[in-house]
Structure 1
């Protein structure tokens, strides 16, 4: 089987990690796999060494950008069409909204091959203004007609597509975003040496979050909620792992709220798993989330999770069992949930253990098995014709 994956950004985000793990799983099953990505795919790309070491062929498409840019979009469409036509792929699998629109249209123009799309969430709320959102919804409705299967990370994500008239129920397949599960081990105490290396005090609760510093991820809300803890937890520190367009704005917000010395911006790290082991509580404050892969990684590390009740997160974080859910955009509720779990270490630890057990169902290997099964069904000789 020869498969082409197309994604806009091959960065450290959940959609990029998911896509690369899928590619690696397919290579290990003996398939020929090509991964095309936008201008961020350079020699310094953090995921490039692993992709190449696993035999995944990488193709850079400089015009494949996330923002709407008619000139670049036309160039990306032509590049994808040429790649699909010359590559003679059995199946094209697109990822995220922008690459999904251009990639599926290119596959339609290039000729008949099976087409799968994974939105990795959606952009129907929390990302853009009204007119751009309507444009994306219209485009998703059209592209769904030329898609054999739409892979959503949770059932809720499929429901939100269907509610807006995107696709038909028979097109949707729920396949979670898998993670490499860490070895099972009991959570230990704080590591003074690691804390010192990070410029953190040897003691005090650590609250953390992992993700792009973009508006939709809600880190501004988290900083405000953390500030509301005030004198109740003076030794607590907030650790933000990730980078993004709002990084400087969030640093300024922490200074404005008088908590700059208690908020650490660590950027992207290669030792996230070890850092999760240092945290006491994980917080995921997104405004829109397909599944919440980072929340699953935190659960696998034995952490209780405070998250917003949005998108697919309630299917991952079980309220009152593996963590607490709060309304999106509610700083007071987010702060109260953090306060509760910091005050109740036994409840926090019990939730962390329950989350660790639940996370075992989200292995990367199980995800790859499910995707392989989908591909085989679509490519079987008796499979139905192309959608639309």
Structure 2
């Protein structure tokens, strides 16, 4: 009888964010092919609402029902704490020795550092890492970024393969001498496109629930309200847009440290009637079908799988020319690209789409076709092939 290879996935938190959802989808789709274990921290840093936690719990139940196993490490959090991190590291080593997996696949920076070295000490045969967007620039001060770069170079010595989400990320890893071309490959984060192609609720009803009428254009964005995601730049850009057109609503889906400052700024701008803060929602496909365009103002982004979701919903996209976003958005084809942090350019791009319904329709159609290149099945097939190659 042939033994099913065991794969352990390790990530700091399991929430509704892109890296967590990518990891979970990989586990859900491959649990029948591999003996799959999903391990993560307490996810308390995500500060999920009851609705978000319920959505994650449903996903975990699906994973378990397919034969997957879950392991939670209370000390595995993003925040750096030398004592707690050391204790967690020792526990990981002991646990991995007991589990004896064929592959350990780590995700994101913190879990990647602790997990890869723990796997090496535990004697795991194959170690794979997906950064889900690196932190070599845009996230921290220059000195901290250099430290992370050094740690990644050292950790590559115990890594068999690096999975980059985009060609831009792959190029950075090679140009910055983190790894060698033969040890890395590009596997785009896959999206369940069918969920986004058609809404379950009519867009008019979704708009009604948001108190937005059919005569108002809706600019929507989905993501963490954190400095690296640039939500304040979007609000500044919209301030310029509203000088030309007042019948435009801005919808933020997500939450984070900038939520209160953004709400305060909205009040100072006297545009509270034009802005909606929805927090995290489980009905993202329905919300996207109520938008007229999608904007992602991130200063840096590993891939931006939410853009694929927006494209599948038929939306034109405005995004920054940074990180892996140009892999998804072809300027002038399925959307518009602008320099990161440039509110004036972002405002002009948004206004251009507001003034051109024909352009919105054409770009939305092009995006829908382009989204097919980033399906969940394509990602799973490539990941399965990589595992098989590394095991052989």
Same fold (TM over 0.5): yes
* CA deviation after TM superposition for structure 1 residue 254, in Å: 1.7
Query: Aligned equivalents of 2:40 and 2:11: distance in 1?
Result: 5
**Structure 1 match to 2:59:** 50
Unaligned runs of 5+ in 1: 381-388
Structure 1's 57 and 90: CA in aligned 2 closer, same or farther, altered over 3 A?
Answer: same
What does the per-residue CA deviation read over 1:226-270, in whole Å, with 9 as the maximum and x for residues that have no partner? Answer: 111123221100001111122112211222222222111101111
Alignment counterpart, residue 27 of structure 1, candidates 22, 28, 31:
31
Residue correspondence of structure 1 range 8-27 to structure 2 within 5 A: 8-27=12-31
Report the alpha carbon displacement of residue 189 of structure 1 after superposing the two structures with TM. 12
Contact 1:10 1:38 in 2 (8 A): yes
- Is the CA contact 2:103–2:127 (under 8 Å) kept in the aligned structure 1? yes
Normalising by structure 1, we get a TM-score of 0.94
Structure 1 position 102, deviation (Å) = 0.6
CA distance in 2, matches of 1:14, 1:348: 26
TM-aligned CA distance change 1:188 to 1:51, over 3 Å: closer
Partner SS for 2:220: strand
Q: Is the 8 A contact 2:10 2:106 kept in 1?
A: yes
Matches within 5 A, 1:100-249: 100-182=112-194, 191-249=203-261
Deviation at 1:220, TM superposition (A): 0.9
Give the structure-2-normalised TM-score: 0.93
CA distance in 2, matches of 1:184, 1:119: 26
Unaligned runs of 5+ in 2: none
2:218, 2:248 within 8 Å by CA — same for their partners in 1?
yes
Pairing of 1:305-344 with structure 2 (within 5 A) = 305-344=317-356
> Equivalent residue for 1:385?
none
1:363 is aligned to 375
Q: Distance in 2 between matches of 1:79 and 1:285?
A: 39
Task: Describe the shift of the 1:151–1:225 C-alpha distance in structure 2 as closer, same or farther (beyond 3 A).
Answer: same
Does structure 1 residue 3 correspond to structure 2 residue 10?
no
The structure-2 alpha-carbon separation of the partners of 1:67 and 1:343, relative to structure 1 and needing over 3 Å to count, comes to: same
- Larger mean CA deviation between 96-105 and 258-267 belongs to 258-267
Q: 8 Å contact 1:34–1:59 — kept in the other structure? A: yes
- What is the Cα deviation at residue 190 of structure 1? 7.5
User: Hey, what's the Cα distance between the residues in 1 that align with 2:180 and 2:203?
Assistant: 51
Report 1:283-302 matches (<5 A).
Answer: 283-302=295-314
Root-mean-square deviation (CA), in Å? 1.9
Distance 1:190 1:322, change over 3 A: same
8 Å contact from structure 1 (residues 3, 32) kept in 2: yes
Please say if residues 4 and 92 of structure 1, whose CA atoms lie closer than 8 Å, have aligned partners that are also in contact: yes
| Matched residue SS, 1:243 | coil
Of the three residues 36, 40, 44, the one matched with 1:37 is 40
Contact 2:11–2:41 (CA under 8 A) maintained in structure 1: yes
- The 3 A distance-change label for structure 1 pair 186 and 18 is closer
Q: Which moved more, 1:91-100 or 1:175-184?
A: 175-184
Query: 1:87: which partner in 2?
Result: 99
State how far apart, in whole Å, the 2-side matches of 1:172 and 1:209 are: 31
**Larger mean Cα displacement after TM superposition, 365-374 or 64-73:** 64-73
1:188–1:32 Cα change, 3 Å: closer
Segments ≥4 residues shifted beyond 4 Å: 183-190
Alignment of 1:63-102 (within 5 A): 63-102=75-114
1:45: Cα distance to partner? Answer: 5.9
1:386 corresponds to: none
Structure-2 change in CA distance of 1:351 and 1:202 (3 Å):
closer
Assess if the C-alpha contact under 8 Å between 2:252 and 2:277 holds in 1.
yes
